[in-house]
Amino acid sequence: MFRHVARWLVSSLVMLFAITALTFVLASMAPGDAARAILSSESGSYTAQQYQQMRHALGIDQPLLVQYWHWLDGVAHGSLGTDLFSGQPVTQELNARLAPSLSLILGTVLVAGVAGVSLGIISALRGGVLGRAVDVISLLGFAIPSFWLALALAELLAVKIRAFPATGYTPLGASPAGWLRGITLPVLTLSAGAVAFTAKQTRDSMAEVMSREFIVMLRARGLSRRSVVLRHALRNAAIPVVTVLGLLLVALLGGTVLIEDVFAIPGLGQQAVTAAGSHDLPVIVGVAFYFTVIVVIANLLVDLSYRVLNPRVHGS
């Protein structure tokens, strides 16, 4: 167990390292830079000298490798640098945006885990009307574009009926009810696809397990269908399903970028879009860092649940 955690730690560090480095390279390839963006937002026109001074002040006149080294040095001291525009520490800015994003992501994983897995099992085991209905629901959830659904839901439930706020986010600490109302529409929007995806994968996994020889043998030994399905088939089908939930969480990091934009939720995704537009490198890399940490933790959870679910992993 200790060795396992140590290995996870090492691979996580490698991952953080690789992804932030990659982000540095990609971001530096983008035309334009932060100095230009700041100067033109401040006064509109500026001299070449002002521009060079600004670049120097921001530290972006140095070679990329040096910039990355400084950044790493900062990380070692618990700092992700400062937002080039607001001058605030990046960690402080992103920490404030963590809760809204996590609310959306975890809310959606929860909905997908409960509704998607149940629908998937039902659809794998039942033919007939119920199975068909599940198929149709998951097909619709899968096919409807999230931004379209966001528009439709907002128009219907926020503008016409006014049941939920169309935009904005209320912190959980400020008002739990407000928080719930605020994240309902974005979570609903994200859940359509997530539930469909989870249901489909659960169904495939369940159907595959149900076709295996040991299921026939379990029935031959006289076990009830209930036990065969809920104890044995589900346990074996759970292994790929857990992977799917992990992948879903990663996919949702991307999904929130779009949905936070539509519903004006002040989360990490919205910050990423703004920062990408204004070449705010510390913020871009910071968001990538935060996202990677979330992914790494999700991976650890998936890995640990493998160990519980799949005995063949114990030994290796």
Partner 1 sequence: MTAVSPPSAALSDQQAAPDAVHGGRGRALRDLARRPLALAAVGWLLLVVVSAASASVLAHGGPETEDLAHVLSGPGAAHWLGTDRLGRDVLSRLMFGGQVTLIGVAEALVVFAGLGVTLGLVAGFASGWPGRLIARVGDLVLALPAIIVLLMVLSVFPGNELATMIALGVISCPMLLRVVRGSTLALRGELYIKAARLSGLTGLRIVRRHVLPRLAGPVIVQLSLFAAAAVLIQGALSFLGLSTPETQGPSWGNMLGEASVVISQDPWLLVPTGCALALTVMALGLVGDAVRDVTAGRHLGPPQQRGARRAARPASCQKAMQPTGSLLSVQGLTVAFNGGHRDITVVRDVSFDLAPGEALGIVGESGCGKTVTARSLLGLLPAGGHVTAGSALFAGLDLAAASERDFSRIRGQMIALISQDPMSGLDPSFRVGSQLAEVIRCHSALTRGQARARAAELLGMVNLPEPQDTLSRYPHELSGGMAQRVSIALALAGSPRLLIADEPTTALDVTVQAEILVLLRELRERLGMAIILVTHDWGVLADLCDRAIVMYAGEVVEAASVAEIYASPRHPYTEGLLAANPHLAPVADMLPAIPGSVPPPSAWPDGCHFHPRCRYATKECASRSIPLTAPASGRLTRCIHPDKMAGAS
- Give, as ranges, the residues between 26 and 85 that touch partner 1 (CB under 8 A): 26-27, 29-31
Segment lying near partner 1 (by CB under 8 A), choices 11-19, 65-73, 165-173, 175-183: 11-19
Closest CA to 28 of 279, 292, 283: 279
Provide the minimum distance between the beta carbon of 276 and partner 1 in the complex, in angstroms, as a whole number: 4
Our CB check for partner 1 shows the closer of 68 and 179 to be 68
Report whether 154 contacts 250 (CB < 8 A): no
Report whether 39 contacts 51 (CB < 8 A): yes
Which two tokens mark 301? 């959870």
Q: Which of residues 176-195 bind partner 1 (CB under 8 A)?
A: none
Provide the minimum distance between the beta carbon of 274 and partner 1 in the complex, in angstroms, as a whole number: 11
Which two tokens mark 246? 């992990």
CA distances for 305 relative to 205, 206, 225, 247, 269, angstroms: 17, 18, 26, 14, 28
Exposed, middle or buried: residue 180 (CB in 10 Å: 0-12, 13-18, 19+)? middle
* 295 in contact with partner 1 (CB under 8 A): yes
Provide the minimum distance between the beta carbon of 14 and partner 1 in the complex, in angstroms, as a whole number: 8
Provide the minimum distance between the beta carbon of 27 and partner 1 in the complex, in angstroms, as a whole number: 6
The DSSP result for 60-102, as a single string, is TTS-HHHHHHHHHHHHHTT---B-TTT--BHHHHHHHHHHHHH
Provide the minimum distance between the beta carbon of 85 and partner 1 in the complex, in angstroms, as a whole number: 16
Binding mask 125-154 for partner 1 (x = CB under 8 A): xxxx--x-------xx-xxxxxxx--xx--
Our CB check for partner 1 shows the closer of 84 and 179 to be 84
Exposed, middle or buried: residue 215 (CB in 10 Å: 0-12, 13-18, 19+)? middle
How many residues line the site for partner 1 (CB under 8 A)?
83
Q: Which of residues 199-238 bind partner 1 (CB under 8 A)?
A: 200, 204, 207-208, 210-225, 227, 231-232, 235-236
Provide the minimum distance between the beta carbon of 144 and partner 1 in the complex, in angstroms, as a whole number: 5
* 11 in contact with partner 1 (CB under 8 A): yes
Q: Where are the alpha helices (DSSP H) in 211-280?
A: 213-220, 225-227, 234-263, 268-278
Q: Which residues pair with 82 in a beta bridge?
A: 89
Provide the minimum distance between the beta carbon of 108 and partner 1 in the complex, in angstroms, as a whole number: 15
CA dihedral sign, ordered 79, 80, 83, 88: negative
* Distance (Å, whole) CA 216 – CA 86: 65
* 297 in contact with partner 1 (CB under 8 A): no
Binding mask 237-256 for partner 1 (x = CB under 8 A): ----------x--xx-xxx-
Our CB check for partner 1 shows the closer of 57 and 140 to be 140
Amino acid at position 218, single letter: L
Report whether 202 contacts 210 (CB < 8 A): no
Provide the minimum distance between the beta carbon of 278 and partner 1 in the complex, in angstroms, as a whole number: 10
Our CB check for partner 1 shows the closer of 183 and 288 to be 288
Provide the minimum distance between the beta carbon of 196 and partner 1 in the complex, in angstroms, as a whole number: 9
Our CB check for partner 1 shows the closer of 87 and 315 to be 315
Our CB check for partner 1 shows the closer of 69 and 148 to be 148
